[in-house]
Structure 1
Amino acid sequence: MLQVTLLISLLLVHHTTLSHEVQKGCGEDAQLRCSEIEDHGPDRDFVAVTWYKVEKDKWGILRLKKDERLDNTEKYDFHREAMMGEKYSLVLPRVTPNDSGIYECEVNAKVGGQIKGSRVQLTVHECVPPTEPTPPCSVMDMPIARSLASYGAVVVVKIVLSLLSIWVIRIISSRSQRSNWCS
């Protein structure tokens, strides 16, 4: 009997369910819906909607009172930019894998009412830098006539240098032979 009483009291204090999962690519904007509002309509009797990121602790992100304008959203000391969207949804611009996790939308009831909430699992895929295509190798086609002329010029230069070397060697050797005869 004690267990049943404990279970009922826990259910009455705070009711939160994991409503859905959202998957986004790196750099995309994520809009997390508050299913407690969407499922029961905005005419539902409540005081405010508060968004949290649930890790070891709950980190407050935003809070907006019912019937307030979006620019009156109360922002908590959260580590990144966040905005309240339509139907009390949470908008996280340009998400990264660090934003992955469980987010909770808490609908604060009037006095005597039940606080209800819904959770959303956000999964952000890895950031992969876009690959740039490798430019094709630039190969220059030379016409056959130009290639033959270039090779021909190299051959002529080699022949001239060889003949010049032979001529210099003959001059040096003939001088050394003359000096040997003279002595």
Structure 2
Amino acid sequence: MGNQNILALLLFAMAALHCGISESMDFIKGNCNDVIRLPCKATNRTTTYRYVIWYKIESTPNPIIKRKNGEETIFANLTSVSLGEKGALELHNVQPSDSGEYKCFLAADIGGRNDDSFIRLNISECLHVSTVYPSTMIPDDSCPAVDDITVNWAVLGLSLFSMAKIILCIVTVGVCDRVIFSTAIRKQEVMGSNTGTRSSWKD
């Protein structure tokens, strides 16, 4: 019975500790392509340490960047990373893939105690806005290509047009001559009939 109480007390303590850690974890939101600064809260508790290193917690912690003796070593370039004041992690041009949980680890001096802090980052989806302008180009098939009209066809067309004009002129002249000729004959017939009438009057 005593062992069961101890086990239940341990489980309760672990659950409380887990909830306490989860509730105390900072949460930062950002937009696509922003510059994000993740503070290392562990540096607020200690200022003496050998080096600081940042991890991204996925299936296993993946090291991102480390600073030791003023020199920085980049292990995995998620976007463009650097370390700011007090070990803050700076992410440039962040993407949705940068979302997740991050860990700042401080390696203590000999005889000291290591420390760490956690922070969660959430980056919104990137919005790609494309402006579509109406096209003013005329489709290729709306007008005949110039190459389709050859010189030979152009010459033939002009020749036929010229011949049609000549034929029309000939017909017009012929009709006019015929009308004039018919009119002259009628005048002569009228004059001849008038002359015969006058002769009969004299007789």
Query: In 2, Cα distance between the equivalents of 1:79 and 1:30?
Result: 12
Paired AA for residue 53 in structure 2? T
Q: Secondary structure at the match of 2:42?
A: helix
Runs of 4+ in 1 over 3 A off after TM superposition: 1-5, 16-19, 77-80
* Offset at residue 46 of structure 1 (A): 1.2
Q: Which residue of 1 aligns with 2:53?
A: 50
Q: 1:26 to 1:77 in 2, by over 3 A?
A: closer
C-alpha deviations, 1:70-90, integer Å up to 9, x for none? xx2122144443111122111
Q: Secondary structure at the match of 2:80?
A: coil
Q: Which residue of 2 aligns with 1:40?
A: 45
Paired AA for residue 104 in structure 1? K
Q: Given that residues 79 and 93 in structure 2 are in contact (C-alpha distance below 8 angstroms), is that contact kept between their aligned partners in structure 1?
A: no
Q: Which structure has the bigger radius of gyration?
A: 2
Q: Given that residues 60 and 78 in structure 1 are in contact (C-alpha distance below 8 angstroms), is that contact kept between their aligned partners in structure 2?
A: no
User: Relative contact order (alpha carbons < 8 A, sep ≥ 6): 1 or 2 greater?
Assistant: 1
How many residues align structurally? 121
* Offset at residue 130 of structure 1 (A): 3.1
Alignment counterpart, residue 65 of structure 2, candidates 62, 66, 71: 62
Question: What TM-score does the superposition give when structure 1 sets the normalisation length?
Answer: 0.56
Q: Secondary structure at the match of 1:73?
A: strand
Aligned alpha-carbon RMSD (Å): 3.0
Q: Secondary structure at the match of 1:82?
A: strand
Q: Which residue of 2 aligns with 1:28?
A: 34
Q: Which residue of 2 aligns with 1:89?
A: 88
Which protein has the bigger helix share? Answer: 2
Paired AA for residue 97 in structure 2? N
Paired AA for residue 32 in structure 1? L
* Structure 2 unaligned blocks of 5 or more: 11-20, 135-203
Percent identity over the alignment is 25
* Structure 1 unaligned blocks of 5 or more: 6-15, 137-183
Q: Which residue of 1 aligns with 2:121?
A: 122
Query: In 2, Cα distance between the equivalents of 1:131 and 1:110?
Result: 54
